[in-house]
Chains A and B, each alone.
Chain A
Amino acid sequence: MTALPLTARLLREKLDYLLGPVLSSRRTAATLAEQMATLDRSQQDLVLHWVEVIAHSNYEMAYQFVAAAPVALKKLDTGAAEAWIIRAMDVYDREGLHRGSEVFRTIDAHPPSAADHAAATFEENAQVLALFACGLSGRRLQLDVSDEPHTDTETLYLPPRTAVFDNAAANFNLYKVLITLLWAQGRFGTFHVDVVAACANYADPQRAAALLSHFENLRLESRIGSTLPGIARDLARLRGNHDDPRLITLQSPDAVVQDSLALLADHYDTFELPVLPYRIALRPEAAATRAARMQRERSELAEALAQMLPEQPDDRKPEAAAADRIDIRAGLSAATGNMDIEVRIDGTSVSPPAAITQLIESIAQDAGEIPDDYLQAIDQRSNHQSGDETGPADGGDISPDEKGVSHLYDEWDYKRRHYRRDWCVLRELDVTAANDDFVAETLARYRPQVAQLKRTFEMLRDEDRLLKRQATGDDIDFDALVAGYADLESGMELPDRLLIRRHKAERDLAALFMVDMSGSTKGWINDAEREALVMLCEALEVLGDRYAIYGFSGLTRQRCEIFRIKRFDEPYSEDVKQRIAGITPQDYTRMGAAIRHLTKLLNNVDARTRLLISLSDGKPDDYSDHYRGEYGIEDTRQALIEAHRTGIKPFCITIDHEARDYLPHLYGPVNWTLVDNVERLPLKVADIYRRLTA
Chain B
Amino acid sequence: MTEHFTDGNPIMATKISPLPAKALQTEARFIETEPYYEAAGNEIALFEAAYASQLPVLLKGPTGCGKTRFIEHMAWRLKRPLITVSCHDDLTAADLVGRYLITGNETVWVDGPLAHAVRSGAICYLDEVVEARRDTTVVIHPLADDRRMLPMEKHGELLQAPPEFLLAMSYNPGYQSVLKELKHSTRQRFVAIEFQYPASALEEKIIRTETGADSATAAALVRLAQMTRNLKGSGLDEGASTRLLVHAAKLIARGITPAAACHGAIAEALSDDPEMLQAIDEFASSVF
- Interchain CB contact under 8 A, B227 and A336: no
B208 → chain A, closest Cβ, in Å? 15
Contact indicator per residue, chain A 654-669, by CB within 8 Å of chain B (1) or not (0): 0000011000000001
Q: Which listed segment binds B: A52-60, A224-232, A421-429? A: A224-232
Q: Which positions 210-255 of chain A face chain B at CB distance < 8 Å?
A: 227-231
- Interchain CB contact under 8 A, B99 and A483: yes
A457 → chain B, closest Cβ, in Å? 15
Choose one: A176, A180, A489, A611; the contact of B178 (CB below 8 Å): A611
- Interchain CB contact under 8 A, B178 and A132: no
Q: Is A479 an interface residue (CB 8 A)?
A: yes
- Interchain CB contact under 8 A, A180 and B99: no
What interface size band does chain B fall in? 35 or more
CB-CB nearest in chain B for A175: B282
Contact indicator per residue, chain B 107-125, by CB within 8 Å of chain A (1) or not (0): 1100000000000000000
Task: Report B-chain residues with C-beta under 8 Å of the C-beta of A128.
Answer: 275, 278-279, 282
Task: Report A-chain residues with C-beta under 8 Å of the C-beta of B108.
Answer: 486
Task: Report A-chain residues with C-beta under 8 Å of the C-beta of B226.
Answer: 137, 338
- Interchain CB contact under 8 A, A132 and B234: no
- Interchain CB contact under 8 A, A482 and B179: no
Q: Is B90 an interface residue (CB 8 A)?
A: yes
Choose one: A229, A466, A693; the contact of B287 (CB below 8 Å): A229
Q: Is A108 an interface residue (CB 8 A)?
A: no
- Interchain CB contact under 8 A, A135 and B101: no
Task: Report B-chain residues with C-beta under 8 Å of the C-beta of A338.
Answer: 200, 226
Choose one: A136, A611, A673; the contact of B233 (CB below 8 Å): A673
Q: Is A127 an interface residue (CB 8 A)?
A: yes
Task: Report A-chain residues with C-beta under 8 Å of the C-beta of B45.
Answer: none
Q: Is B175 an interface residue (CB 8 A)?
A: yes
Q: Is A192 an interface residue (CB 8 A)?
A: no
Choose one: A131, A337, A489, A691; the contact of B177 (CB below 8 Å): A691
- Interchain CB contact under 8 A, B99 and A131: no
Contact indicator per residue, chain A 92-131, by CB within 8 Å of chain B (1) or not (0): 0000000000000000000000000000000000011001
Q: Is A4 an interface residue (CB 8 A)?
A: no
Interface residues of A, CB < 8 Å — how many?
Answer: 43
Task: Report A-chain residues with C-beta under 8 Å of the C-beta of B223.
Answer: 227-228, 336-337
- Interchain CB contact under 8 A, A489 and B231: no
Q: Is B33 an interface residue (CB 8 A)?
A: no
Task: Report B-chain residues with C-beta under 8 Å of the C-beta of A180.
Answer: 286
Choose one: A132, A487, A611; the contact of B282 (CB below 8 Å): A132
**Cα-based distance from A180 to B287 in the complex (angstroms):** 12
Contact indicator per residue, chain B 252-288, by CB within 8 Å of chain A (1) or not (0): 0000000000000000000000011011001101111
**Cα-based distance from A625 to B101 in the complex (angstroms):** 72
B residues touching A (Cβ–Cβ < 8 Å)? 90, 92, 99-102, 105-108, 154, 173-179, 200-201, 219-220, 222-223, 226-228, 230-231, 233-235, 275-276, 278-279, 282-283, 285-288
**What would 23 A/B residue contacts be, using CB atoms closer than 8 Å?**
A128-B282, A131-B276, A132-B283, A134-B230, A134-B235, A227-B287, A228-B223, A229-B288, A230-B285, A230-B286, A230-B287, A336-B219, A483-B154, A485-B107, A487-B107, A489-B102, A489-B105, A609-B179, A649-B178, A673-B176, A692-B177, A692-B178, A693-B177
Q: Which 10 A-B pairs have the closest CB atoms?
A: A486-B107, A135-B227, A131-B279, A486-B100, A230-B286, A127-B275, A228-B286, A649-B178, A489-B107, A230-B285
A residues touching B (Cβ–Cβ < 8 Å)? 127-128, 131-132, 134-137, 176, 180, 227-231, 336-338, 466, 468, 479, 482-483, 485-487, 489-490, 609, 611, 649, 651, 659-660, 669-670, 673-674, 676, 691-694
Given A135-B228, A228-B286, A490-B100, 18 more A-B residue pairs with CB atoms under 8 Å apart are: A128-B275, A128-B279, A131-B275, A134-B231, A228-B223, A228-B287, A230-B286, A336-B200, A336-B223, A483-B99, A486-B100, A486-B101, A489-B105, A489-B106, A609-B178, A609-B179, A670-B175, A692-B177
